[in-house]
Chains A and B, each alone.
Chain A
Amino acid sequence: MNQQTTDPSEEALNAAFEARIAAGETIEPKDWMPDRYRTQLIRMMSQHAHSEIVGMLPEGNWITRAPSLKRKMSLIAKVQDEAGHGLYIYCGTETLGVDRAELVDQLLTGKAKYSSIFNYPTLSWADMGVIGWFVDGAAIVNQTVLAKASYGPYARAMIRICKEENFHKKQGYEIVATLARGTPEQKAMVQDAVNRWWWPSIMMLGPSDANSPNTAELIRWRVKRKTNDELRERFIDLTVPQAQAVDLTLPDPDLKYNETTGHWEHGQIDWDEFWAVVKGNGPCNRERLQARRDAHEEGRWVREAAEAYAEKHQRAETSNAA
């Protein structure tokens, strides 16, 4: 422990902070907060922002090959939304006293993590449907709860995001439902996508509670309001009937309904796969990071041009005023 925690005034501030959290108050950027609360939020929010940005890549892969103009427009709009979501959360993170440039640097150098799910490849058009249905569906379950987080800027960003994610999930499910009642080849294609995405999607809600070192602290501070396993249960309960409605099978032979609890119970999750992906060894980790680095590098001239333009006009204004 550092010296600060033994400082009596620090202890009083800490007690007051804990009391505010316990009373359900919202913490705002200028309020006093423990260093640990700040660093945990910076870590969690920046990972979330990075996930939105990296999440544009798997779907961006299919924009030029969308099967119709309607589907193409929807997909472009969805990918644009994800960029906006990244921006909301980066700005929210900046209120904690960290620069966005610093956060972007952490992503590009591989120091920061982002959601494991985006390290899987998008192999067919059906993946666009299943991602909207599963991945955005799981994100909604997570973000609806985060919309009540104790840190005001994070909660407000989540509220904006949740409104937009509903479109993402619904357009995805519409693609799935259309393929599921299409030709036998289309049905097989969407079932294949379901088979590939199901396990990574339930893993994306995070390690099981027994192996989630940050959960207890984040729940005590009301940053998280539900554990990873609770979120996973909620997601599965919502998704099983949706799969049944379009006559698709979820690839878990042990998935069963528990009459007593009223919840669906899943089979064994392959956590070795999850940790391998988190640690950088998923199917697309290197490709995703390289794509971000390239985009950042190729956008350099745009940033420089905008800056030069702004400076030129600033000079003109100053000389006019003089």
Chain B
Amino acid sequence: MPKSTSERRPRTLPEENGASQWPLWEVFSQGEGGAPHEHVGSLHAADAEMALQNARDVYARRGPVVSLWVVPSAAITASPSDEAGPFFDPGADKIYRHPQFYKVPRGLKGF
């Protein structure tokens, strides 16, 4: 999952076992029938091609998947979680954006 820049730790490579940390990628998959791409998980890969192949092998093992996106996790900017209240507030109190806010004449059948 993406972290905000301040939270991201410096890359540390434990050299004793030779494991270097490939960049992290977020995987989005699209199912059949015009569904939108949805986040399904993440993985490490050296480059985009490898990320895509590994995403297919891990996150599309049992169809039906018609499309995959892989995005470097570092490229994602996320909304602030500690200010989620004020950040999303503008959409929370506007009941007039919903159809239930409006009245139609009594007795009207079908709308």
* Residues on the B chain within 8 Å of A31, using CB: 81-82
B24, CB-defined interface residue at 8 Å:
yes
Is B14 a contact partner of A101 (Cβ separation < 8 A)? Answer: yes
Is A105 a contact partner of B47 (Cβ separation < 8 A)? Answer: no
DSSP majority for the B interface?
A: loop
CB < 8 Å: which of B1, B22, B61 contacts A95? B1
Is B82 a contact partner of A310 (Cβ separation < 8 A)? Answer: no
* Residues on the A chain within 8 Å of B80, using CB: 30
Is B41 a contact partner of A105 (Cβ separation < 8 A)? Answer: no
B19, CB-defined interface residue at 8 Å:
yes
A70, CB-defined interface residue at 8 Å:
no
B18, CB-defined interface residue at 8 Å:
yes
Q: State in angstroms the CA–CA spacing of A307 and B43 once bound together.
A: 15
Q: Which of A72-119 contact B (CB under 8 A)?
A: 80-81, 84, 87-88, 91, 94-95, 97, 99-102, 104-105, 108-109
B60-81 to A contact mask, C-beta < 8 Å, 1/0: 0110000000000000001011
A1, CB-defined interface residue at 8 Å:
no
* Residues on the B chain within 8 Å of A160, using CB: 40-41
Is A101 a contact partner of B81 (Cβ separation < 8 A)? Answer: no
Q: What residue in chain A is nearest B25 (Cβ atoms)? A: A91
The count of residues in chain B whose C-beta lies closer than 8 Å to any C-beta of chain A is 33
A32, CB-defined interface residue at 8 Å:
yes
Q: A30-B3, A307-B46, A309-B46 are in contact. Are A101 and B13 (CB under 8 A)?
A: yes
Is B3 a contact partner of A91 (Cβ separation < 8 A)? Answer: no
Q: Which of B32-63 contact A (CB under 8 A)?
A: 40-44, 46-47, 50, 57-58, 61-62
Q: What residue in chain B is nearest A311 (Cβ atoms)? A: B46
Q: A29-B3, A30-B81 are in contact. Are A101 and B20 (CB under 8 A)?
A: yes
Is B17 a contact partner of A296 (Cβ separation < 8 A)? Answer: yes
Q: What residue in chain A is nearest B27 (Cβ atoms)? A: A91
* Residues on the B chain within 8 Å of A100, using CB: 21, 44
Q: What residue in chain A is nearest B9 (Cβ atoms)? A: A97
Q: State in angstroms the CA–CA spacing of A156 and B42 once bound together.
A: 12
* Residues on the A chain within 8 Å of B100, using CB: none
Is B44 a contact partner of A29 (Cβ separation < 8 A)? Answer: no
A303, CB-defined interface residue at 8 Å:
yes
A36, CB-defined interface residue at 8 Å:
no
B93, CB-defined interface residue at 8 Å:
no
Is B81 a contact partner of A91 (Cβ separation < 8 A)? Answer: no
Can you report 27 residue pairs joining A to B where beta carbons are below 8 Å apart?
Answer: A28-B1, A28-B81, A30-B3, A30-B82, A32-B82, A87-B43, A91-B43, A94-B42, A97-B7, A99-B11, A100-B44, A101-B20, A101-B21, A102-B14, A157-B41, A164-B61, A164-B62, A296-B17, A297-B18, A303-B22, A306-B22, A306-B46, A306-B50, A307-B20, A307-B22, A307-B46, A310-B50
Binding site for A on B (CB under 8 A): 1, 3-4, 7, 9, 11-14, 16-22, 24, 40-44, 46-47, 50, 57-58, 61-62, 78, 80-82
> Which 7 residue pairs across A and B have the least CB separation, nearest first?
A310-B46, A310-B47, A30-B81, A101-B19, A306-B46, A95-B1, A84-B58
